[in-house]
Amino acid sequence: MLKPILIGISPNAQFTDVLLALKLLLQPWLWQTGQFTGRLTAKIKTYFNFPHVYLTNSARTALYLGLKSLNLSSAEVLYPSFTCQVVPQAIIKAGLKPIGYELGQIKAKITSQTKVLIIQHLFGIPDDMAFIASLCKKHQLILIEDLAHSLGATFKGKKVGSFGEITVLSFGRDKIISSIFGGALLTRESVQLNMPLPGYFWIFKQLLHPLIFSLAVPAYYYFGKYLIHLCRKLNLIALPLNQLVPEQLPNALAGLALHQWQRLDSFNRHRRQIARLYCQAFNQPFHPEATYLRFPLIVKDPIQLIKLAKLEHLWLGNWYENKIINLPTHPRMNLSDVQRVVDFIKSHA
C-alpha cells in the first residue's frame, strides 16, 4: 500500500500532539482558561520583543482587530494580491479599502489615501525588508507583517515580524505551528479588545481534530477521506475558511500551540532541508533564511498535475492561483517521500 503524501490535513501533528489533545479532552476544566494562555503569550513577547500580545481564535481575527485598532477611516490598505481571500475580507470588515499589489508594484500603488501596507513573506520566503522599511518611512505607512507562512524566518539575521508596528501570527491547521484554529495580534501600543471565549462544543471539536486525523491520514486514499467527510457531515470538523466571530484563543488550544512552539526551530530546519533538496532537483535558488511552509514551483498545467498526483497518492497544493503548485515540506515528510515527489514532478511536468 502506497503511503499517502499529503500537503495539508494537519501536517505538523505527531504522536505527542495527538496524546496532548486526548489528555486535554479529558480535562474540560482546562478548555477555556488556564496557564497555557499566559505561557504562550510570554513566549511570543520574548521571541519578537513586542510589548503587547493578544491571542485570538484565528489570524484573520488578529488582522481585523489590528486594523480596527488603528482608528482609520476609509483609508486604503495595500495587501499582496497573491494571498488567501481572508486578507481582503478582514480589511473590508475593518471598514477600510483593500488595494491588491503584485510583486514589484508597491510603489506604483501608493496614493494619498494609502495608510497601511501588509507584507506576507509568502511561503515563508522573506520580503526585502530594507526596501519595505524605507518605503514605509518615506510615505508614512503603517507596516503590518502577516506571518501566516513565515514564523521563524529572518531577514539579514533579524526575525521577520519584528519590523512593523503590527504583526499577525497564524496557528491554523496547515501553518508553521498549529493549534487547529488560532492566531495572535502583536502591537507596539496597548489596545482594548473585548473578545469572548469560544463555547465548549467548539473547543471540543478542535481537540477532537488531531484524533480524527491521526486515524484518517495514514489511510487517506482508502477509508481516511470518507472518515473525514463523515465527521464534517456530523459537524465534528470545522472548515478552515468558515466565517469566525472574533474570540480569544482558549486555554486548551494555547496548550497545543505551546507544545509545537517548543519544536519551532526543528520544524523549520526540517522544512529548509527538504526545500534545499527541491531546489537542487528543480534548479531553483535556495533562501537560507526562509521557512518554506510550502515549496512553490511553476509548472505548465498545475490543475492537471494535481489530478495526476492523486492517482499516485500524492496531494499537492494550489495556493493561491492556477500558475503554480506547492510541494510539501512538513515534519511528516522524510527523504524517501521527497524523492517520490521529485520523481513524479520530473516524469509528469
Q: Which residues contact 197 (CB under 8 A, 6 or more apart)?
A: 32, 33, 247, 248, 250
- Run of H or E residues at 22: helix 15-25
Quick: pLDDT tens for 105-115. Answer: 999 999 999 99
- In the chain, CATH 3.90.1150.10 covers 264-348
Task: Give the pLDDT of residue 10.
Answer: 86
- In the chain, CATH 3.40.640.10 covers 18-187
Instruction: Quickly list DSSP for 254-292.
Output: HHHHHHHHTTHHHHHHHHHHHHHHHHHHHT----TT---
Task: Give the pLDDT of residue 241.
Answer: 67
CATH 3.40.640.10 fits 18-187, yes or no: yes
Homologous superfamily of 264-348 in CATH?
Aspartate Aminotransferase, domain 1 (3.90.1150.10)
Q: Rounded to an integer, what distance in angstroms lies between the CA atom of residue 48 and that of residue 53?
A: 10
Quick: pLDDT tens for 174-203. Answer: 999 999 999 999 999 999 998 999 999 999
Say which residue the cell 486548551 belongs to.
252
Q: Rounded to an integer, what distance in angstroms lies between the CA atom of residue 169 and that of residue 162?
A: 12
Strand residue runs (E) in 60-215: 76-80, 97-101, 114-119, 142-146, 154-155, 158-159, 166-170, 183-187
Task: Give the pLDDT of residue 242.
Answer: 66
Mean pLDDT of 24-48: 98
Which SS3 state, helix, strand or coil, does residue 53 take? strand
Decide if 99 contacts 76 (C-beta within 8 A): yes
Quick: pLDDT tens for 219-269. Answer: 998 899 999 999 999 999 987 766 678 999 999 999 999 999 999 999 999
Give percent of the chain with pLDDT exceeding 70.
99
Q: How confident is the model at residue 322 (pLDDT cuts 50, 70, 90)?
A: confident
Say which residue the cell 475580507 belongs to.
89
Say which residue the cell 500537503 belongs to.
7
- Smallest Cα–Cα separation from 281: which of 268, 292, 270, 295? 295
Task: Give the pLDDT of residue 229.
Answer: 93
